[in-house]
Structure 1
Amino acid sequence: MQSVELNNGVEMPLVGLGTFQVKGYNVVHRTLDAALGQGYRSFDTASVYHNETDIGKALKELLPKHGLTRGDLFVTSKLAPGDHGAGARAACLRSLADMDFEYLDLYLVHWPGKQGWKSEDPRNPGCRQQSWEAMENLYRDGKFRAIGVSNYTEGHLRALLAQCQVRPAVLQVEYHPHLLQSELLAFCSESGLHLQAYSSLGTGRLVGEPKVKGLAERLGRTPAQVLLRWALQQGIGVIPKSTNPEHIALNARLFDFHLGDEDMELLSGLHSDTRYCWDPRPVA
């Protein structure tokens, strides 16, 4: 696994395992065991996934089996939209307690708006700033090695960068050939933020795309590998999710092949400005 150095000097693996909808202790344990065996060291979860406790417990049980320590891992979690504002500090500490970890490697604001408020609610900017200040304090206390945001637009980022004392290290957003967010990627690069993609396979829709399948067949790779490699060659981190041991293994094999310029252009040419997850642009 290759890593990227974040803007505060922390090393973060470029490939991690996403755990959205990975639930039930037996499933979590089996999935993480397979991932650790294939070299994954980065694991992404969130309060709203309702699996933090199981992930923390499973990792602690599996570390000795794989000859690892907590320091070998990079664990990410996220602040739930319902916990924005005054409840942010307590929610952050609850994630740490649920995972039974002394620190998290990365903690993100999951969504720029507060749950239960309308997207255009003028209180949203102040509420997320309050959340960020709580995260900055926990970062200073050593509870988080790095902090960042998820689903922020360039406008949200500009507002945060104008006010923050600790700069965000990571932006996690939906990014794939059907949603080529080139301007956002360029802004992150200029601002020293690492862009990490979720839904790199377009929630599964892109693996059946004829041009993706054709390219994968020509290269002797899976469509998923081709899509993930496309992101990596742009300097974008990925967190593919799977509970299938074979897919987990294949999704880790991304550093022994290269996409040519024409291959990259072919995939980027699939852009249709299509979002398969959530659209944060209306959030004030």
Structure 2
Amino acid sequence: MKFTALHSGLKMPLIGLGSDKLLGHDVVYNALDAAFKSGYRLIDTAACYRNEKDIGDCLLELLPKHGLSREDIFLESKLDPKDHGLEEAYTACLESLAKLQTDYLDLYLIHWPAKAKIKSDDPRHAGYRKESWMALEKLYKEGKVKHIGVSNYTLKHLEEMASYASIQPAVLQVEYHPLLVQRDLLQWCKANNVLLQTYRSLGKGKLLSEPVVVAIAERIGKMPAQVLLQWAIQQDLGVIPKSTNPDHIAENIAVFQHGDKWLTEEDMRNISDLHRGEKFCWDPLRVA
């Protein structure tokens, strides 16, 4: 496992198991079991994934099985967009803690920069974002979360946030892959000592058959998924690939078995040159 130091000084694994659409006790159990067996120590979830309770139940079973304690894993969740607001966000985090059956989260993120069921261009979103961040700062000060951050924020949202935040976000989680290289956000993160954690690293599977990626994988004897994850990790980005297949779960974390920088500078450039602004998720640029 490779770790990065957050601005708190605490370490966070660079690779974790994503859990979007992992539903049902057995599905969650099998995925987490394979992940812990392979060496994963970070689990990413969210209130809107509707699996926090199953993850909490499975952790109670699986941590002892793998000789682990709660302190050995990094657990992160996210605020449901419907729960934006000072009191709503605070209460929502407490509910996530109860479902996950833990006293604290290692990381809690605002999932989306807009409140659900309000039009994207509504100016009230800015106020909701501020209130939610105030709630996260309170949770941080109370020790209920060790780190706080945001997800799907644009540069505009981040710069707005700087006007009221007394605590710097530790992590920005966004869609980021070779078809969507968001350099402005990466530069902002590096300038502000914020970890950029990526999702959709494999482009919902589309990038696995990209000729440039396949050619590099064949040349060096790796899997296309490993090439894509290494492209991100080699830039010191966090990744949270999702899988229910034990073999794929093991293959994804095996990127660390081959050294730190096994993609050449030319490989990195060729993969980055695939950028064409293609998104697989909602576009936050439309949010006021």
TM over 0.5: yes
1:77 aligned counterpart, secondary structure = strand
**Does residue 1:119 correspond to 2:120, yes or no?**
yes
Alignment correspondent of 2:285: 281
Alignment correspondent of 1:33: 33
Cα RMSD between the aligned structures?
0.7
Shift of 1:165: 1.1
Amino acid at match of 1:55: I
Shift of 1:161: 1.8
Unaligned runs of 5+ in 2: none
What TM-score, normalized by structure 1, do the two folds share? Answer: 0.99
Q: Distance in 2 between matches of 1:279 and 1:10?
A: 31
Alignment correspondent of 1:254: 255
Alignment correspondent of 1:8: 8
- The answer on whether the counterparts of 1:198 and 1:239 sit within 8 Å (CA) in structure 2 is yes
For 1:213-239, what per-residue CA distance to the aligned partner results, in whole angstroms no more than 9, with x for missing partners? 111111111110000000001110000
Equivalent residues, number: 284
Shift of 1:9: 1.6
Q: Distance in 1 between matches of 2:148 and 2:29?
A: 26
1:43 aligned counterpart, secondary structure = strand
2:91 aligned counterpart, secondary structure = helix
For 1:184-213, what per-residue CA distance to the aligned partner results, in whole angstroms no more than 9, with x for missing partners? 101110011110000001111100111111
- The answer on whether the counterparts of 1:10 and 1:145 sit within 8 Å (CA) in structure 2 is no
What TM-score, normalized by structure 2, do the two folds share? Answer: 0.97
Unaligned runs of 5+ in 1: none
Q: Distance in 2 between matches of 1:83 and 1:214?
A: 45
For 1:166-200, what per-residue CA distance to the aligned partner results, in whole angstroms no more than 9, with x for missing partners? 11000000000000111110111001111000000
Q: Distance in 1 between matches of 2:229 and 2:72?
A: 23
Q: Distance in 2 between matches of 1:118 and 1:55?
A: 32
**Does residue 1:180 correspond to 2:181, yes or no?**
yes
Alignment correspondent of 1:19: 19
Task: Choose which of 253, 259, 274 in structure 2 pairs with 1:270.
Answer: 274
Amino acid at match of 1:153: T
Q: Distance in 2 between matches of 1:263 and 1:202?
A: 18
2:174 aligned counterpart, secondary structure = strand
Aligned ranges for residues 226-237 of structure 1 at < 5 Å? 226-237=227-238
Alignment correspondent of 1:195: 196
For 1:2-48, what per-residue CA distance to the aligned partner results, in whole angstroms no more than 9, with x for missing partners? 11111112211000000000010011011100000000000000000
Shift of 1:74: 0.1
Amino acid at match of 1:58: C
- The answer on whether the counterparts of 1:18 and 1:239 sit within 8 Å (CA) in structure 2 is yes
Alignment correspondent of 1:106: 107
Aligned ranges for residues 36-75 of structure 1 at < 5 Å? 36-75=36-75
Q: Percent identity?
A: 55
Amino acid at match of 1:19: S
Q: Distance in 2 between matches of 1:11 and 1:132?
A: 23
1:253 aligned counterpart, secondary structure = helix
